[in-house]
Structure 1
Amino acid sequence: MRVRILGMGMGPHQLTGEAAQALRGCDYAVAARKGDGDGLLALRRAVCAAHGVPLVEVPDPARDRGAADYAAAVADWHAERTAAYERVLAERGGTAAFLVWGDPSLYDSTLRIVEAVAARGAVPVEYDVLPGIGAPQMLAARHRIVLHGVGGPVHVTPARRLPEAVAAGHRDIVVMLGGRHGFAELADWSVWWGANLGTDTEELVAGRVGDVLEEIGAARLRARERAGWVMDTALLRRPR
């Protein structure tokens, strides 16, 4: 059978023409259901409905977010997801789509899980990937900025590893997955921050970290209250 891993940006309006055509050629799409009122699942339903593709919802296994060993906890979670998706693919066959928030290359487990399903061998799977609009791209567009200095690098990290990036001397750091974690120690840095980018609950804040930290906190709370979830991304720039 075939699996199409499709980046979908932040909803129906950001699906590329290439990804939309691929989705319409699928027999169904598969998505995790993380509980009642899952706003992200609702947006996936809207994408599938817009293109006439049924959505198969798979209850998402619980993840141990309090585990001391983060990597081991994620590995266990991924193993359970792999088994759950394998059961659906084995039962249904055909061509299946997985709709990935943003772009499949950044902080998403879908590609690794489909690779694991293929490696297990119980379901013969061929898969491909089509890119989507990622949060760093949306952040740069909304704030009308370039993510790096002239000819310079940009470092992308989850918030929990921000201190490592700062200690390593990175000057332009894109931070994902973690709100304001670690920002307070960087009061003199500049920040361009956004939550729920590309949706009608989008929030944007920019300025010197020490001046706008509370504003970011309030904006993040508004986004969560309005949408029922929050995904935020920021560019932090060291003083020149």
Structure 2
Amino acid sequence: MMELSLIGIGTGNPEHVTLEAQRALRTARVLLVPRKGPGKDDLADLRHRILQDAGATGRIVEFDYPERDEAVPYRARVMAWHDEIARRWVAALGHEGGPVALLVWGDPSLYDSTLRIAQRLRPVPRIRVVPGITALSALTAAHGITFNTLAGAVTVTTGRRLRAHGWPDGTESMVVMLDGECSFTTLDRTDLRIWWGAYLGMAEQVLEAGILAEAAPRIIARRAEARTRHGWIMDTYLLRPEGLE
């Protein structure tokens, strides 16, 4: 049975890679490194730097991520995409034995499907998860704010769900991830404050904060400019009514 370590490497700062993650990288015999496509070479370069800094000596095996078919309904599209990624893992690994390590952006358990994809392998490997610094902690640290209000709950959701369902009743704080469409613009509320960040933890980090109605145009403009400059963007944000602590 293959041993597969899914290693969270944080949000872009090599110094965020934990000692546990570094040990796991050093003990891996094979290191599976995804290439995300044209214009995203800096992501692959960062993974290679992390491997070098960790002292990893295993054989590096790269593979290309497939594109999703946007013409297919969302759930079917994602399932087919996961199937294809699993096939590419198998093709890249060939007859390689373990232990195998796969570097995962952020944390493998938070809005990431690497664990689901690993379950598609046959036989299912023995899986180890090494947690990483999340976009949630990187965002709140960058802004110097708390994740939650005093004894309050936080809703973590996606841009797709925010557009579909709006602000849930009783919600004090909301973190939105995987939002490529600036879904905060769909909220008809004048009391919300937003803390937004892109390229969290990286040298390219961009931050904005303020009352939503005032900050939204700035975020949209800075997001568009940054995406044009880098060719890709990863961002997240926290929303909370003004005055809550």
TM-score by length of 2: 0.88
Which of 21, 24, 30 matches 1:19?
21
Shift of the alpha carbon at 1:185?
2.5
Alignment of 1:87-166 (within 5 A): 87-117=91-121, 120-121=122-123, 125-163=125-163, 164=165, 166=167
CA offset at residue 90 of structure 1?
4.1
| Distance in 1 between residues matched to 2:153 and 2:3, nearest whole Å | 37
Task: After superposition, give the CA deviation of every residue in 1:18-63 in whole Å (9 maximum; x if it has no partner).
Answer: 1011101111211322323323222112212332344311122221
Cα distance in 1 between the residues matched to 2:128 and 2:7: 9
State the match for 1:31 in structure 2: 33
In structure 2, the partner of 1:207 is 210
Distance 1:58 1:149, change over 3 A: same
Partner residue of 1:175? 176
Offset at 1:239?
4.5
2:60 counterpart residue number: 55
Tell me if the contact between 1:184 and 1:210 (Cα under 8 Å) persists in the aligned partners: no
Select the residue among 61, 86, 110 that pairs with 2:90: 86
- The answer for the alignment partner of 1:3 in structure 2 is 4
Paired with 2:188 and 2:50, the residues of 1 have a C-alpha distance of: 39
RMSD between aligned residues = 1.9
**Richer in helix (by share):** 1
SS of residue paired to 1:108: coil
Identical counterparts, % of pairs? 40
Structure 1 position 65, deviation (Å): 2.6
Deviation at 1:170, TM superposition (A): 1.8
- Unpaired runs of at least 5, structure 2: none
AA paired with 1:150?
L
Q: Hey, what does 1:65 align to over in structure 2?
A: 70
Task: Report SS of the residue matched to 2:132.
Answer: coil
Q: Does 1:46 align with 2:49?
A: yes
2:201 aligned residue (186, 198, 201): 198
SS at match of 1:58: strand
Moved more, 75-84 or 54-63: 54-63
**How far apart are the structure 2 equivalents of 1:113 and 1:146?**
33
Quote the residue 1:232 is aligned against. 235
Matched length:
235
CA–CA distance in structure 2, aligned partners of residues 14 and 201 of structure 1: 15
Task: Name the aligned partner's letter for residue 185 of structure 2.
Answer: F
CA deviation after TM superposition for structure 1 residue 134, in Å: 0.3
Instruction: Quickly say closer, same or farther: Cα 1:94–1:46, change in 2 above 3 A.
Output: same
What is the TM-score normalised by the length of structure 1?
0.90
Query: SS of the residue aligned with 1:116?
Result: coil
Bigger shift: residues 146-155 or 178-187 = 178-187
